[in-house]
Amino acid sequence: MRVFVTGASGWIGSAVTDELLAHGHEVVGLARSDEAAAALAAKGATAHRGSLDDLDSLASGAAGAEGVIHLAFKHDFTDYAGAGRTERAATRRMLDVLEGSGRPFLIASGPASGATGRPFTEDDASPHHGADSPRGGGENLALAYADRGVRPVALRFAASVHGVNDHGFVSTMATIARQRGAAGYLGDGSNHWPAVHRSDAARLVRLALDQAPAGSRVHAVAEEGLPMRDIAAALGDYLGLPTASVAQEDAEAHFGWLAYFAGLDMTASNARTRELLGWTPTGPTLFEDIAAGAYPVPIPTR
């Protein structure tokens, strides 16, 4: 299958590109820069120049493909609402191109809901609607096209998609711990983050492209929910730092832009995804990656 992948040179997207190429798919990756284009070419993928703001480029990429995997997102937490509006416009433009074609459209999302007291499941609808909601309500927008001749699939990635050179939430926690001299967690640290190894996430995306029916929600989640105080303790053990509780009123001063996410409780099940796709995570756990040095201490500069 010829697949148009946005975010193809990113943390998750580069692993997805490798996975697709290894299984006989042709990858056309959205590239914002010469560096990204060269990285894609080196893998054997085709670079398609453009960005999330270039709607015509997105439309032409989608039009020339047999399937679309939309992983790119503007991770600008200084203007998160603006990033959401960009996401919604980009998602709609690609979906409109695919309307009536029966082709797959896979979109990155996350396991966040209003469910309390139990894990978030694949049957739970996202509560996010509209351009000003998180990620522009892109998941619900995409799934609505199941009635318009598209095969949309929501890819709900764990809060931590980890591995060597991870630069996501846990990496940010590690950086903040080094700066503050302690690995912090919010309040009593009883809230949870789910986790999945990058290789397992990439394999799930490929399986969903091949198998998931229209309107599916799949959870790229291996560990359903790790307490934040345990993540902080694992980072502290590796970095040789103590752990510390951070009061809610001090959250922004300590965590910066991560403050909002540091307090979220995002336990998520993967039972339906395993059953639907025959997917079994096999990669290292988050704590194994931390202990193995996936979040190294920087070498001091003179």
The amino acid at residue 288 is E
Nearest-angstrom CA–CA distance, 137 and 142: 9
Cα(121)–Cα(217) distance, integer angstroms: 9
Q: Concatenated DSSP letters for the chain?
A: -EEEEETTTSHHHHHHHHHHHHTT-EEEEEESSHHHHHHHHHHTPEEEE--TT-HHHHHHHHHT-SEEEE------TTSHHHHHHHHHHHHHHHHHHHTTS--EEEEEE----S--SS-B-TTSPP---STTSGGGGHHHHHHGGGGGT-EEEEEEE-SEEESTT--SHHHHHHHHHHHHTSEEEETT---EEEEEEHHHHHHHHHHHHHHPPTTEEEEE-SEEEEEHHHHHHHHHHHHT--EEEE-GGGHHHHHGGGHHHHT----B--HHHHHHHT----SPPHHHHHHHTSSPPPPPP-
- Fold match flag (2-160+195-223 vs 164-193+224-266+282-289): no
pLDDT of res. 115: 60
The pLDDT value given to residue 300: 45
Structural class in CATH, domain 2-160+195-223: alpha beta
Q: How far apart are CA 70 and CA 107, in angstroms?
A: 5
Token match 């056309």: residue?
Answer: 28
Residue of 44, 43, 285, 47 whose CA lies nearest to 161: 285
Beta bridge partners of 177: none
Give the mean pLDDT per block of 10 residues along the chain (302 residues).
Answer: 97 97 98 96 97 97 98 80 89 98 96 73 88 81 98 97 94 95 96 96 98 97 97 97 97 93 91 97 98 77 40
Dihedrals phi, psi of 91, to nearest 5 degrees: -65, -45
| Architecture label for domain 164-193+224-266+282-289 | Alpha-Beta Complex (3.90)
pTM of the model: 0.94
Residue 96 has what pLDDT? 98
* Lookup: tokens for 65: 């493909």
Domain boundaries, the chain: 2-160+195-223, 164-193+224-266+282-289
Compute the radius of gyration of the chain from its Cα atoms. Answer: 19
